[in-house]
Structure 1
Amino acid sequence: MTLMKNFLLLSFLLIVSLALNAQGRLNVDSISSYKFPNASFPNTNEVWGHVDTNGTEYALVCRRNGFSVISLADPANPQLIYSDTSASTLWRDVKSYKGYAYVVNEDRGGLEIFDLNGLPDTVRKINSYGGSNFPLQRAHNLYIDSNGVAYIFGSNNNFPNSAGTIFLDLDTDPENPIELGNYDSLYLHDGYVRDDTLYGGAVNNGKLIILDVSDKQNPVFLGAVTTPSAFTHNVWLSEDGNTAFTTDEVSGGFITAYDVTDPALIQERDRIRSRNTSTVIPHNTHVLDNFLVTSYYTAGVSIVDATNPDMLIETGYFDTSPNFSGSGFNGNWGAYPFLPSGLLLVTDMQEGLVVLRPNYKGASFLEVFVRDCNGTAITSASVSLGGNLNDTTNLIGLVEFGALIEGKFDLEVKAPGYYTQIIEDVDMIPGQKGRLGVFLRDSNSVFSLSVTDLQQNALAGAVLSLENEDTLINLTTDLSGNVDVANIDYGDFEVRVGKWGYKTQCIQNVSFNCNNEAEVFALEEGIEDNFELDLGWTVSGSDSLGAWVIGDPIPTIDGVRLANPPIDSYDDCGEFAIMTGNGVGSADAFDVDSNSFLKSPKLDLSGFIEPYLVFYRWYYNGGVKDDQFVISFIDTSGNKQWIDVIKHDTEHANWILENIKVSDHISPLALDYIQFEASDKGSQSIVEAAIDQFFVSEGEFVGLSEVEADNAFKIYPNPFNSSLNIEIENDDYLQAELYDVSARRLASMDLRIGLNTLELPTLPKGIYLIRIIKADGSVMQQKLFRQ
């Protein structure tokens, strides 16, 4: 049972601020109102509804001095079509059955009967019923069950011949009630009956009582419970029959929910006050589907979502009484929510009949169970939903939330001695209850990671990175090949593992949870680096902003040409490369302005017969001849030998595959390092370089042929937007085919000498491959970027 409500104001306050007008309302719209002419105030009391054979709806309105019928044929313009004047009294109540209205009051006149079957033309008043064995002079209220039995509550109260609650058969002859019996052990102020079970408000005793009235002459007491303020005014039953809802008609009284599945052991489930006020008086509550609609005197009408009777949430209200507030018997007396149109009829003692259109908006509910990794409940854990709704777990590790919200919210769970757990994007769906189990990790526990070779020998100095949306941690194994991670939350991580002399692994969705607190990664021998990790390359040179760095490439544009790569090379794991500068800004902000060197870790080629050094390179020099990109070998004596010097005076910004046979230049056993140099020879042009997917191949590596930039063939722009230009100068090139990264052919065209344009307006952003088929049958390929 939840006695204190936590209202999540995250979006609730926004909804309230938009919904409020001068009267104060939430999820309820005003349609119209009707004030009785020449009426003294306060004037109206109870209201009920009626629908005629044509489907026209009516308000049956009790006044201090009589009874009226108001047509709602046009809800925006209610019309008074019948009025009857009788005894003047503060209390008058009405119910309807089979086209008849039955009215009682606390002065005199017995049970007044009105024939409504002539509507919309006539209303006929039948002679009042005064009883025989149980004389009926006055009563407070009445209820008519589905069998046509009327229960007249508070009849003849304080009269010498008080009959208590009288049972009348209306079904046999609606104009001439037949006495069936009575109950007079306790004064019942109001009540509700279903399946011959009566739920009564014994207001003077402060109790909800339950009676078996299947034998109308011998009612049997089944159980009772004292309501919170011991002034039990009314009661209504949930549609499933498991919960009874009561009101205590006192200042600051509650609407209270009770489990009545066992009448001998009635249990409170929850209680609520409209807008959490401690002064306003609730009057009568009714159940419509899973909502409680309650007349609430000076606060107007309240709508509560009772889908979860253990957590009542107010989701709507309308203040019909703008001139009154706080305690006092002014404002809304009655509220009738059962018309087929969905209109809500309200009788305000000062304002008359008010016609409303409610939006029955459901609350969202969430149960959170908090456990440790052994499954033991964690009590007093702090749980926060969206940062605004906060509570602590009970003795079984449970906390329940309910609020008028919708959407995704983060849930934070923390407890002393445990690591905090954050669950992102928890769905809160109106009208639904979510259930979530959260396991907290002991603050002394660790995530143990081990790295070995394929023979399970420990690899010391191996480098690892753990990454998800919230975390990036870089680690190095100890002499035993182990590393423990302490201060991270449970979750799924992308793990990268590498060591120079071994092939790097990129593993998706490595789970760290109660069932998995250790992982072992086995690496295959091989000289390889895809630059997802720092495996020991040396950076030097006089250029600081243009120094080589590992990272996710940040594209820069020199005029209309791509200078820094927008993405790493394909065919390797991860998304990183090593490149010069790689900063956010203009193309000249982080490029090479002098020289920048990148030297590999020591190369041990003793295990290779015919080694090739394979890698992808990127070089852009803005079209200046003197700038250069130099590939060098450094031997065991420290001597440097230039292997390739790349100079271009035209754009050449693509990932290019290099395949260098070591023995063409030096004995493989004499090679210690490979070095790359990007230099700007004083012209201050844009110079960028990058390396990715470096490895040593036994024998020549057969990779993708790239389209070389020459005067006979051009593909531009790259990256491109909605069109791609292919310009050729001879008939060696026959066809172009465009593929995505899954090798699906997306487009093709025959080529002709001159400019060929491939229109691709709907192509999504991403990486693509263009294949150029030549007349001799050979195929060349180039990577493209759609921006």
Structure 2
Amino acid sequence: MKNFLRILSWSMFLLAAFPVFGQNFNLQLRSSLEYPGQTLANICGYTQGGREYALLGASNGMVIVDITNPSNPVNIVQIPGPEGTPNFSSLWKEIKVYQNYAYLTTEAGGGLQIIDLSNLPSPNLNYHSYTGDGAIAGQLDDIHALHIDTKKGFVYLYGGNLLGGAAKVLDLNTDPYNPTYAGTFDALGYIHDGFAENDTLYACHIYSGLLSIVDMSDKQNPVLLGTVQTPGKFTHNSWLTDDHKHILTTDEATPSFVTAYDISDPENIQELDRFSTNDGNGSIGHNTHVLNDWAVTSWYTDGVAIVDAHRPENLVITALYDTWDGTGPDFDGCWGVFPFFPSGTVVASNIPFQGGNGKLFVLTPAYVRACYLEGLVKNGCTGLPMSGATIEVNSGNQWVNTTTGNNGQFKTGQTETGNYVVTVSKPGFQSQTFNVNFVPGEVIELDVTLELENALNIVGTVVDAATQTPLPNAPVVLSSDGVLYNLQTNASGQFTLDCVPSGNYTAITNAWGYLPGSVNFNENGDIKIELEKGYYDDFAFNLGWTTSSNGASTGFWERGEPKGTSSQDEFVNPEFDIADDTGEQCFVTGNSGTDIANDDVDGGSVTLTTPSMKLAGHSDAVLTFWYWFYNGGGQGTPPNDKLEVRVTNGNQTVTVFTENTSASDWRFSDEIHLKDYIAFTDNMQVQFVTADDQPGHLVEAAIDVFRVVPGAVLSTPDIDASALLQVMPNPSATDFAIRYDWPTAQNLTLEVRNALGQLVHTQQLGANTGTAICGNNWPTGVYVATLRDNERQSIPVRLVKQ
């Protein structure tokens, strides 16, 4: 169908020079065009009759720009964008070209827009929208992205309303202007973007953080070949290298990298290397493309980066042009880049995410091969590979300096050629320097052995403080200057570590049935750590807790550093454990850190159980813990799930605690006197149980700073609700002003305990009403304040020290 085209008033577009915002090299700005009132999303290119055209995904529709002369781009026409059911004029548009047709997708809806480019440079072009045929007739509306398998003649559509955002495949072979529906791949749900070639799909499942490889030879019956999780767990796009044995991906969330994988065996995909313009956290990569084994990538606030990927195990940046004057991990800046013009010209698009004018950049690249420096660093004392050694090159290149991995190996490179000095160093070791000659495309192999300046040999023993009995199999962590050594005591309770740099060390240990212990030292000699009896676990060590489930498909209890998930500006899964305990770990239900619904408790219950405790003969045992319980979303209001704490003595199981109120916060259990619930044996265990009951909701739970004190408290004072306790400010970075009022109290005392239950402050109060000032020198963390008289106490109040 012939369509009337609205030809833009090109006086609105500004042709201008562009200031240099970053350290630009090997990419020369030839020209730029600004689009007032419109943003630019992705960008593509088309060549016909010796002329080259940039196709811009502007907010009001596709703009066609003649860039044959890169110094003088000329706008040809803007094709009005399609709008469908969503009809919100989405800023996001993606474009790909097959033969003489451009295919445009948008989340504004309206289906797949197809533009016949064969009449260029005339602005009078035919276009129409495809909304589905056959099994999807009239159903195709909003679409996020697309890719075209040009070898086989199929377009893959990603995201959008239809089929849960799975890949929809259209056949272009018979009539590219009127495609036909061929099939789908929906086994892994939503696909954000992907790469397709020769009937193989490399799909990016952004919300599950996966790249999947799929055999699409039979469009009705795709075969999943393999998957891999990308570093940022927010897989955005992918592109094959020229040998088709490797692929590059981007993550559109920090940590954000261009990551290289060996996919020669799709069932065993191996990560080879990753690259970031800004340490993985300082900026976000968006779309990468591969041309002659150079990866040309749009990096939002860092602009366009070119990386030499012909050795995918060592990705080295070889060109950069910064298109945005801001910095940080934001979504302003370079959205798209297209490097495939016959002339070599590169075009890039800026999107001002927070509002403003979109901008086209026309660039001329200088493609150069990297100079490589690779090797192995060993510890001269032990002969073992050395992690954390620093490799520095005096070239001034901000990306070349690196450190060795756990295997002692390093791989780096730069574009600067010629002679430079390489320094290999690590604190406590004698540095070494080497003169090297960097040559493009060549690898310098540098194997180094660093000798200790002063060696320390550590011998220690972990014992029971009361009996001096050695404790076998106790985990021990030694730390010095941020370096950790994980050890374990032998059958004699002994741990050893030879040939480490001299310095100040801390040894921390714990064992089930004991309280944690530590010691500081800085010289050779025998070290003894004495552990007091008690039941305490802040999960810095694996002390033998067990997990089980009943019908649940996800959200299993696991020990680790929590990875927060959020909904409506509040955490569903915690981001941090309790402050001021040892380490940063806790037990949490599911910890993928991806979408809120991907790893919460689903379809059943999950149980976390302590090792056995010997409590027979004790008159009481006081249980305390910090817990997280979030319950929301899903179906039915209010949510109907809960967190239960049960205690078993081997013969009987009772519930001692129930929480069915959701909160996006850590909460303290208060003291639970187990004598009130169950008879004590030497086979006592505590169980933490949470479940996703029907109808389903979001369910997340976590446990930290678990403690049972046998016989520590024989009786609990009665709580007097008339005792008033107010704290200001709270949280506080300095003092707390604790106002109290308890007219009937006698011998009034203020007590403050830390998260471990330890008394950190006690104060005899001379009057029944007043203000107590305390806390200025307390470490950051959570505390509990209580008023006590002879036989009563106030309701505890939580204090947060910043």
User: TM-score with structure 2 length normalisation?
Assistant: 0.48
- Which one has a bigger Cα radius of gyration? 1
User: TM-score with structure 1 length normalisation?
Assistant: 0.49
